[in-house]
Amino acid sequence: MTNDRNFDDLAGRFTDNIYGSPKGQIRLAILQEDFDTLLSRYPANTPLKILDAGCGLGNMALYLAQQGHEVVLCDHSAEMLQRAKQLFAEQAPAAKVTFIESPVQTLQQHVKGQFDLVLFHAVLEWVSEPQRTLEGLLRFLRPGGYFSLLFYNRNSLVMRNLLRGNFRKLAAEQFAGDPKSLTPTNPLLPEDVYCWLEAIGLKILSRTGVRIIYDYLSREIRDQRSVEDILEMERRYCRQEAFIALGRYIHVLAQAKV
């Protein structure tokens, strides 16, 4: 057991508000591009072993499974895992997939061996001991394997509050979301996360800002522009240094020592 946020009671809202909206569409599109680039390092049709730790609805693992990779999905929320199973049953019934209900911190009790690629997406900001949790995940990464980390960027909350003139909130440094909301309990500072990754011996290969524009747009502008047009701008700027830092999330690809 952990005190980390279990999404059993948030599953419906997460499904609708994130993956049922442009937020999820943009997130998936940008991450898929990063994975396409990463996986092009392997010869075509090389099947990989991939772990999605804190998989939620399993959308990213589905994309990878549909390319013939073997995926293991883990979440401590039975409700999220049930939705992931349903997604796979509908969209990839022949996929090589295993579902495990467990906190990532005790996953070694269920999983033997190591993986070519480990995903840890939008979970670190919900766990009570982020640095130690990251360290624990290393055991699942084979030497030279890749680690895909997506984390919620605290600086993007600062920027949004600056733009809205919420100066009192900034002075009070109130960044944790309400326990019942989809804003995480522990939004993270990028410099902390990069230090943690390097401290455990991972080499950062690339960084991408995810939703560097969308979250700052007014409702009026969101209504006036198509998702495709916004996505085109996200794609254009998301890997440029100045804009990576503004992403609501930052996606880091890192590699374990050989």
Ligand X SMILES: C[S@@+](CC[C@H](N)C(=O)[O-])C[C@H]1O[C@@H](n2cnc3c(N)ncnc32)[C@H](O)[C@@H]1O
**Per rule CB under 6 A, is residue 17 in the interface with ligand X?**
no
CA gap 168, 154 in Å, rounded: 17
CA angle, corner 207, sides to 254 and 57, nearest 5?
80
From the list 30, 51, 72, 123, which residue makes contact with ligand X (rule: CB under 6 A)? 123
* One residue of 35, 63, 126, 214 binding ligand X per CB under 6 A: 126
The residue among 77 and 208 lying less far from ligand X, judged by its C-beta, is 77
β-pair partners for 206: 253
Taking CB positions, which residue lies at the least distance from ligand X?
A: 56
**Secondary structure class of 238 (helix, strand, coil):** coil
Strand partners, 121: 150
Q: Closest separation between CB of residue 7 and ligand X, Å?
A: 4
Structural tokens at position 214: 């969308």
Query: Other CB atoms closer than 10 Å to residue 20's CB: what's the count?
Result: 12
Assign 98 to helix, strand or coil.
strand
Residue 87 CA to residue 21 CA, distance in Å, equals 17
Least Cβ distance, residue 220 to ligand X (angstroms): 28
| One residue of 50, 51, 72, 104 binding ligand X per CB under 6 A | 104
Which of the residues 77 through 96 are near ligand X (CB under 6 A)? 77, 80
**Would you say 2 or 166 has its CB closer to ligand X?**
2
| Residues 198, 214, 169: CA angle, nearest 5 degrees | 75
Q: Distances from the Cα of 179 to the Cαs of 120, 182, 186, in angstroms?
A: 21, 8, 11
Q: What is the per-residue binding string for ligand X in 174-213, x denoting contact by CB under 6 A?
A: ----------------------------------------
Is residue 34 a contact residue for ligand X (CB under 6 A)? no
Closest to ligand X by CB, 61 or 202? 61
List the structure tokens of 141.
């990464």
Is there binding between residue 248 and ligand X (CB under 6 A)?
no
**Residue whose tokens read 């401290």:** 199
Residues of this chain, 45-74, that bind ligand X according to CB under 6 A: 54-57, 59
Can you give the binding site for ligand X, defined by CB under 6 A? Answer: 2, 4-7, 54-57, 59, 75-77, 80, 103-105, 121-123, 126-127
